[in-house]
A and B are shown apart, each in its own frame.
Chain A
């Protein structure tokens, strides 16, 4: 298996090709999306961060350290597992699961926090901040902060603090301060607002680890590049296993980091369909969902232009999803661009479909997926039966479901 350093060199070479996919542009735009819509105070720090990120992604010493951490601390490469029994039950395409749930801390989030924490250290920052919804990114940030001896503050909406007590406790065990955010809708978007306010105030010593491929440039590109290890491994593993590329790659989309991580290395493989699955909540038509790509329109939030859920006056709308990690009114700008260009397709599945898929995979494969991931599984369960048995789908199994035990039990009418 190629090292991350090799892969990034491969990526640079691919980007050098004249016909290649070269986004974002030098000002951080994916077509009309992305950009840097932030108060003036943050413009200079974002320029510094961009310089550092571009320099270190070509620095062999940095990449070697990143490789070591991904191997020995995160546990990479993650396996590509053929879900034979579930595939047989669905009766169509063969389904392969990229097992990001087996990473340290139980989700793909740590690929990014390990990378950004190394960058923070190189830049001489002593304090990291992060936003979190379900708590997975907060835990992944607190984890790397503990390991590197950095001060860590995690912003989390008051509503999410109440419904994710176990993760709040994990973060505090790891030495992080968890700040309960009481403004706005008191969920993930408000946690992001508060983290931005902290960064504006403490910009000299603080590194903001954004957990998804949103925010101002360079975050969408930087987080993608740290998560692209998922797709690079999956692509190589599939070629080794089946001798050819998959027919479909699929992932759930909230902010969209696990999806971009899987998709990006396949972007120039024109025959590989890329499908992102959003949270349809109680159904797109009810308005109670978190599916900006399927049912929103372009606007500007949290530093970038992208698809948003908003009202007719441009106020950001409240979202609903069974999974806290998808409960966000925006989406990474690169997904907006991939949607408009038609390179990727975006669909939504409802809470109950995700829950059924959660049970389906648990029962047939002995793998308990996160509710976020279950959205991708639910769409695969619809798509696979329409495909031939010699066709393949790779799904990013982005996280494990342990954190969702209370939610699922409650929905099943069981008190834990």
Chain B
């Protein structure tokens, strides 16, 4: 059976459109916000949802997502709770792919084999484990694959031809190009440099390429949409969650409004319209 991720990218490709992938931290600012937020994001044009799994020591994240992580941990959200959220989401949405993004240690403690089985049963489609490069991934990948889960890898400006080829040899689903050297929420991306690197990646990896880091608004999303298969937006969304943390009922609507802007900018870019 074709995975939800592959099906989604196939459909968008045939329509000539670029995917919009929002990231939110599961359980931020409280567990009951996440499920309605996920559904509203889909309604507003999200093609795949990246759900952050809270971890106490998020070395790849900037201040915005660090604070989201701390809020979620403070609210008691752990990996098992995140799996429950996906299970609840799947009860009403059987098509939108969900990828968990996080760090290895909570998975190791649960047991990678248990995690793979429970994640698949909950309706998770893949995992992006930030601190697991391909060199350390053999065991985890070997447990996820039989469950039909994709292990999504990062590529970075520092990934040379050898590393790109190596990642191409093990990646499935899609790959995630980190457009700037830095942590999540870091500075502005240089679109010409991104385009050049994507050409290098596409020459060696036959999978869809998502681009994230440094996309803050409609214009930057449109610029990326012209060169990428998916536009990934994290900190800019999580910042809007934080702005409304004292009025959590308003969060889904505010995030949906922002995704609507991004969606329009991306679709405009796809049809050759304005946006740059």
Contacts and interface: CB of A to CB of B under 8 A. Distances in A.
Given A38-B131, A39-B154, A183 B109 contact: no
Given A300-B105, A314-B79, A39 B60 contact: yes
- Among B79, B107, B156, B186, the most chain A Cβ lie within 10 Å of the Cβ of B156
B254 interface: no
Contacts of A314: 55, 79, 105-110
Contacts of B66: 183-184
B160 A44 contact: yes
Interface stretch (B132-140, B203-211, B262-270): B132-140
A315 B157 contact: no
A183 B64 CA distance: 11
Interface stretch (A139-147, A196-204, A364-372): A196-204
B183 interface: yes
A27 interface: yes
A298 B70 CA distance: 23
Interface string A182-193: 011000011001
Contact of B133 (A40, A190, A202, A308): A40
B73 interface: yes
B240 interface: no
Contacts of A341: none
A91 interface: no
A127 interface: no
Give the interface size class of chain B: 35 or more
Contacts, number: 125
A372 B32 CA distance: 45
B109 A40 contact: no
A41 interface: yes
Nearest to A29: B136
B59 A316 contact: no
B96 to A, nearest CB: 26
Given A39-B154, A314-B109, A315-B55, A303 B163 contact: no
A36 B57 contact: no
Contact of B136 (A35, A41, A45, A184): A35
Interface in A161-186: 183-184
Interface in B112-170: 130-133, 135-136, 153-160, 163, 167
Contacts of A282: none
A415 interface: no
Nearest to B104: A300
B136 A36 contact: yes
Nearest to A183: B66
Contact of B105 (A42, A45, A184, A316): A316
A43 B183 contact: no
A313 B131 contact: no
B55 A45 contact: no
A184 B73 CA distance: 11
A39 B59 contact: yes
A22 B160 CA distance: 29
Contact of B154 (A40, A190, A313): A40
Contacts of B159: 40, 43-44
A25 interface: no
B227 to A, nearest CB: 19
Given A193-B59, A201-B186, A301-B57, A44 B109 contact: no
Nearest to B107: A314
A302 interface: yes
Contact of B158 (A45, A196, A302): A45
A72 interface: no
Contacts of A315: 55-56, 73, 78, 105-106
Nearest to A303: B131
B163 A44 contact: yes
A352 interface: no
B182 interface: yes
Interface string A295-330: 000111111000010101111100000000000000
Contact of B57 (A43, A45, A189): A189
B131 A310 contact: no
B202 interface: no
A316 B106 CA distance: 9
A300 B131 contact: yes
Contacts of B57: 184, 189-190, 193, 301-302, 316
Nearest to B182: A201
B59 A203 contact: no
B27 to A, nearest CB: 13
A37 B62 contact: no
Nearest to A37: B131
Contacts of A190: 57
Contacts of A183: 63, 66, 70
B181 A203 contact: yes
Given A40-B154, A43-B158, A184-B57, 5 more contacts: A44-B159, A197-B60, A200-B183, A201-B182, A310-B105
